[in-house]
């Protein structure tokens, strides 16, 4: 009791001086949002005193060195030093693992924490399309066999609800993708999303089946996540 684990939670990262960590340490030196605005980040929000966090860290280190992570940056945030950031993204306990693409939270990971499980998860997330989804990426995702749910969004619109809805979709075997309309207005206009630049922020949800857009939902006219899911998928929670 009372002993510390050398280097695991030092400002320089995990590992000792002879074995520098390959985990990206996101600190308050720069704005969190600006640090993650480009690319994909799988982030461990932790506290140094947390036993489960200490137990996870060697696996997290291995994940950061794995060639299966692709272009995903494996990172960590010390919530005792960055409490405002952790509160803003909705961290309620430690460790909390979240996956971001182009600065947008896609989902909170709640699966098993073995190295293989984490590698499989990252590989799956690499196949989805993030907020900066250009025409080529979107066609690759939406033209897949089966169902794909795409969120065309204005910044600030329906964020928490999308996290819940995308999790529900993935549990049902539906792939998910996002398009930031402030960066790809033409794509959003093409699918018929109402212009949110001069009105309230919104999300326009499109369910593709085998590459064909079959159902759409404008979140400004839907009551909640259950209602949106029923309109898109035709099933509610009890079915």
Report the catalytic residues.
50, 53
Q: Give the number of C-alpha atoms closer than 13 A to the C-alpha of residue 11, restricted to the C-beta side.
A: 5
Q: Count the Cβ atoms, other than its own, within 10 Å of residue 214.
A: 11
Concatenate the DSSP letters of all residues of the chain into one string.
-----TTTTBTTBSS-TTS---SEE--TTS-HHHHSSSSEEEEEEE-TT-HHHHHHHHHHHHHHH-GGGTTPEEEEEETTT-HHHHHHHT--SSSEEEEEETTEEEEEE-S--SHHHHHHHHHHHHTSB-TT--HHHHHHHHTSSSEEEEEEE-TTSSHHHHHHHHHHHHHTT-EEEEEETTT-HHHHHHTT----SSS---EEEEEEETTEEEEEEEGGG--SHHHHHHHHHS--TT-
The length of the chain, given as a count of residues: 239
Backbone CA torsion sign across 56, 61, 64, 68: negative
């Amino acid at each position: 009791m009372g002993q510390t684990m050398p280097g695991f939670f030092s400002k320089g990262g995990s590992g000792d001086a002879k074995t520098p960590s390959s985990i990206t340490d996101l600190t308050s030196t720069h704005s969190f949002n600006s640090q993650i605005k480009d690319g994909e980040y799988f982030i461990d929000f932790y506290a140094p005193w947390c036993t489960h966090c200490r137990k996870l860290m060697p696996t997290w280190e291995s994940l950061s060195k794995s060639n299966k992570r692709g272009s995903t940056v494996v990172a960590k945030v010390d919530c005792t030093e960055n409490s405002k950031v952790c509160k803003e993204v909705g961290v309620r306990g430690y460790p909390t693992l979240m996956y971001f693409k182009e600065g947008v939270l896609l989902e909170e990971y709640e699966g098993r924490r073995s190295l293989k499980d984490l590698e499989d998860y990252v590989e799956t997330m690499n196949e989805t399309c993030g907020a900066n989804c250009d025409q080529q990426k979107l066609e690759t995702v939406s033209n897949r066999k089966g169902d794909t749910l795409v969120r065309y969004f204005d910044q600030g619109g329906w964020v928490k609800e999308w996290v819940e809805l995308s999790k529900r979709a993935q549990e049902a075997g539906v792939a998910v993708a996002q398009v930031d309309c402030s960066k790809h207005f033409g794509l959003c206009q093409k699918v018929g999303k109402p212009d949110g630049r001069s009105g309230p922020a919104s999300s326009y949800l499109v369910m593709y089946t085998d590459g064909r857009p079959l159902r759409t939902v404008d979140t400004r006219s839907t009551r909640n996540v259950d209602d949106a899911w029923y309109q898109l998928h035709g099933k509610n929670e009890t079915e």
